[in-house]
Amino acid sequence: MSYELYYWPSIQGRGEFVRLALEDAGAKYEDIARGKNGVDVMMKQMKRHGVFAPPFLIHQKVVTSHTAMILHYLGPRLRLAPKAEAARLRLHGLQLTITDFLVEVHDTHHPIANSLYYEDQRAESLRRAKSFRESRIPKFLGYFETRATLPFSYVSLSLFQVMEGLDYAFPETMRKTNYRNLRKLQEKVRKRLAPYLASERRIPFNQSGVFRRYPELDG
Ligand SMILES: N[C@@H](CCC(=O)N[C@@H](CS)C(=O)NCC(=O)O)C(=O)O
């Protein structure tokens, strides 16, 4: 039975971390909100199942929300995680660290409020982004670098997406870094997922997603 993925139709956002796993595994899935009246359908399903925010997944009447938990569910089913509980939980912890990191990426352009335009919180964004570039990128990527050589899993795909997103949003900062393992992994996934990445199913990065390019935030 096909997986139903529910996520905002015009951005990669957090939904992309789930798409990458489904695509890598060649799983049959439907990106519901990108279909006809898709957002209406998604909102109805969200209400019906008491989900707070996308992404969420429905599969054989099982509803999972939160990117990391969706991947925890999908991992063994898509052969992108081991079956043993201890190993799966370790991966889940890693994915939750990526979740934390994404909040910090988002806060570089929206440090005060989601309801305000970037332009209305630009001064705070500049301060936030400086600390993000100087201490948070090195701390998180330094850690992810040590995890990038673990056996291939859904976390590998998520680390690829983190690198692609940072290259898009902070090209100058990233140019000065040297994360050999993460770069090797990024290249590997680029090759592995080449048909998907070149397809229309891969939404380009844009100024509405988690990763946005504001050159002034790149130092
Ligand atoms: N912890 C959730 C966060 C989900 C989330 O923040 N979804 C965003 C889109 S990426 C959203 O639509 N949020 C609505 C809101 O916060 O009002 C996850 O990791 O999936």
C-alpha to C-alpha distance for 95 and 166, rounded to whole angstroms: 17
> Separation of 56 CA from ligand 1 center, angstroms?
10
The domains of the chain are located at 3-77, 85-218
Question: Which ligand 1 atom sits nearest the alpha carbon of residue 13?
Answer: 10
Three-class HEC string of 114-141: CCCCHHHHHHHHHHHHHHHHHHHHHHHH
> Separation of 47 CA from ligand 1 center, angstroms?
15
Which CATH code is given to the segment(s) 3-77? 3.40.30.10
Residue 130, token pair as written in the block:
């400086």
Pocket test for ligand 1, best of 5, 6, 14 (most atoms within 8 A of CB): 14
Pocket residues: Cβ below 6 A from ligand 1: 13-14, 53-55, 66-67, 99
Which CATH code is given to the segment(s) 85-218? 1.20.1050.10
Label residue 53 by pLDDT band (50, 70, 90): very high
pTM of the model: 0.97
Label residue 1 by pLDDT band (50, 70, 90): confident
| pLDDT tens, residue by residue, 84-128 | 999 999 999 999 999 999 999 999 999 999 999 999 999 999 999
